[in-house]
Amino acid sequence: MTFIDYLFLFGGMGLVTYIPRWLPLFYLAHRKMPQWLIDWLSLIPVAILTALLAPILFTDQSARSLEIGKPELLVAIPTLIFALKTKSLGGTVLVGMGLYWLTGIILT
């Protein structure tokens, strides 16, 4: 592929990535939003976060099948408790990484 081929491909990908990120912000930030929409949108972060985490914690992602008790889930429990107790984002990331690393050593 030539430079122009890559530019066309990545430019196209960039455009279809940018528009969904830009359009709502551009319009909604200058409108008076109804209260029901604000209430609904306030629930979106928690719903998206759990949706993103769900397959990582509860499924075998290569086979796309249910898997209960994978290391990611076991490590998630103390990681969640740490986050709840300390309210520290950076600390939780380090603790989660450390526990996951240790789990990998123990299981292999």
Under rule CB under 8 A, which residues in 61-100 are in contact with another protein?
64-66, 72, 75-76, 79-80, 83-84, 87-90, 92-93, 95-100
Per CB under 8 A, contacts with another protein among 14-33 are: 14, 16-18, 20-30, 33
d(CA 60, CA 70): 8
d(CA 93, CA 85): 14
Per CB under 8 A, contacts with another protein among 39-58 are: 39-58
Quick check: 4 binds another protein (CB under 8 A)?
no
d(CA 2, CA 54): 40
Whole-number minimum distance, CB 4 to another protein, in Å? Answer: 11
Q: Interhelix angle for 71-86 vs 44-58, to 10°?
A: 140
